[in-house]
């Protein structure tokens, strides 16, 4: 088994009606965007998460964004928390997507015809148990969906790609190997982001995301967590991050789940005196797990 890396050139297009995604048409970001906004959603492919945040902030260039924030195997995407904190974008929803990796080929191609498999290195790693059963050359590319597009454009009889079912649909490819990932439970959580002026209050909201800093005195974090628990609010996630420029001091990203808004408001009030600052990223409806 050999691995060789190649790059595929990409472009960037703005659209005031579109939703920014990291990656390209056929990517899991687009799958998540479709699950939240519907199949007719227009997407704006972005080369990086930094570009995604930048374009999503401008009304003339987009209508918002969908951004991965954590994975059940790899954990939190820490740089994206920093991007979120520095931006003025608000969280209006979330999508939990069960990731399905699939082996795609052009029409009529059989397993015996394949000599190379192209995909993002992470997708290749996720499917190694399947791939190692065959003597194929593994080619690393920068994006799963672009690998599928490359396959379709070149009409190759000897190349396969690992990508989503949506990529197979968009590029008219056959799924010759469905769900080939080794770990079948692989879930990515995506945040749905909008500009502050476009946010509409969610009547049945039951989740909030926020960031807070404390003075780092003895036991202060425990006091904050106790206040949250006393408010009958569930702390479903707590992520620490170093505060830039500090001497190993930390801030905390938290997800809170509640039944009524008055519970959240009471908790936010109770931790005011225990924190130096609190930034509320958004209040929204908890996402449900869906198949990618």
143 and 246 co-located in one domain: no
CATH of the domain at 143: 3.40.190.10
216 and 176 co-located in one domain: no
User: How many C-beta neighbours within 10 Å does residue 21 have?
Assistant: 27
> How many domains, in total, are found in the chain?
2
What separation in angstroms does the CA of 271 have from each of 4, 134, 264, 274? Answer: 52, 57, 11, 5
Query: Among 179, 200, 221, which residue terminates a domain?
Result: 200
Task: Say if CB 181 and CB 126 are below 8 A apart.
Answer: yes
211 and 255 co-located in one domain: yes
Query: Among 153, 175, 200, which residue terminates a domain?
Result: 200
Task: Say if CB 141 and CB 92 are below 8 A apart.
Answer: no
Task: Say if CB 116 and CB 125 are below 8 A apart.
Answer: no
CATH of the domain at 284: 3.30.70.260
What contacts 85, CB < 8 A, 6 or more positions away?
Answer: 211, 253, 279
pLDDT along the chain (292 residues), means of 10: 48 77 95 97 95 95 97 93 95 97 97 97 95 96 94 95 97 97 95 97 95 93 97 97 86 97 97 95 96 80
229 and 253 co-located in one domain: yes
137 and 4 co-located in one domain: yes
137 and 215 co-located in one domain: no
Query: What is the pLDDT, as a whole number, of residue 31?
Result: 97
According to DSSP, the β-strands at 137-140 and 187-194 are unpaired
Query: Among 147, 179, 200, which residue terminates a domain?
Result: 200
63 and 183 co-located in one domain: yes
Give the whole-angstrom CA distance, residue 245 versus residue 240: 15
Which stretch of DSSP H or E encloses residue 37? Answer: helix 28-37
Task: Say if CB 69 and CB 96 are below 8 A apart.
Answer: no
60 and 26 co-located in one domain: yes
Give the whole-angstrom CA distance, residue 216 versus residue 250: 8
- Residue range(s) defining the domain that contains residue 217: 207-289
Q: How is residue 7 written in tokens? A: 């790059």
Give the whole-angstrom CA distance, residue 152 versus residue 141: 15
11 and 148 co-located in one domain: yes
Buried (b) or exposed (e) across 40-53, using 16+ Cβ within 10 A? Answer: ebebbbbeebeebb
133 and 156 co-located in one domain: yes
176 and 252 co-located in one domain: no
68 and 150 co-located in one domain: yes
């Amino acid at each position: 088994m050999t691995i060789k890396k190649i790059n595929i050139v990409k472009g960037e297009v703005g659209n005031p009606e579109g939703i920014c995604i990291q990656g390209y048409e056929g990517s899991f970001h687009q799958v998540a965007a479709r699950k939240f906004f519907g199949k007719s959603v227009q997407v704006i492919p972005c080369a990086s998460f930094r570009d995604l945040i930048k374009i999503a902030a401008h009304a003339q260039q987009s209508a918002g964004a969908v951004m991965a924030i954590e994975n059940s195997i790899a954990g939190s995407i820490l740089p994206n928390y920093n991007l979120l904190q520095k931006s003025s974008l608000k969280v209006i929803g979330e999508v939990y997507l069960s990731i399905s990796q699939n082996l795609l080929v052009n029409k009529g191609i059989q397993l015996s015809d394949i000599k190379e498999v192209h995909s993002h290195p992470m997708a290749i790693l996720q499917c190694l148990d399947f791939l190692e059963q065959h003597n194929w050359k593994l080619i690393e590319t920068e994006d799963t969906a672009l690998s599928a597009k490359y396959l379709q454009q070149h009409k190759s009889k000897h190349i396969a790609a690992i990508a989503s079912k949506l990529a197979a649909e968009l590029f008219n490819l056959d799924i010759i190997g469905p769900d080939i990932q080794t770990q079948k439970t692989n879930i990515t959580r995506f945040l749905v982001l909008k500009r502050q002026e476009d946010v509409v209050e969610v009547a049945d909201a039951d989740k909030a995301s926020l960031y807070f800093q404390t003075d780092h005195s003895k036991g202060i974090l425990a006091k904050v967590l106790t206040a949250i628990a006393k408010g009958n609010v569930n702390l479903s996630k707590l992520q620490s991050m170093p505060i830039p420029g500090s001497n190993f001091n930390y801030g905390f990203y938290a997800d809170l789940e509640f039944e009524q808004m008055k519970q959240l408001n009471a908790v936010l009030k109770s931790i005011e005196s225990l924190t130096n600052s609190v930034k509320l990223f958004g209040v929204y409806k908890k996402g449900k797990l869906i198949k990618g």
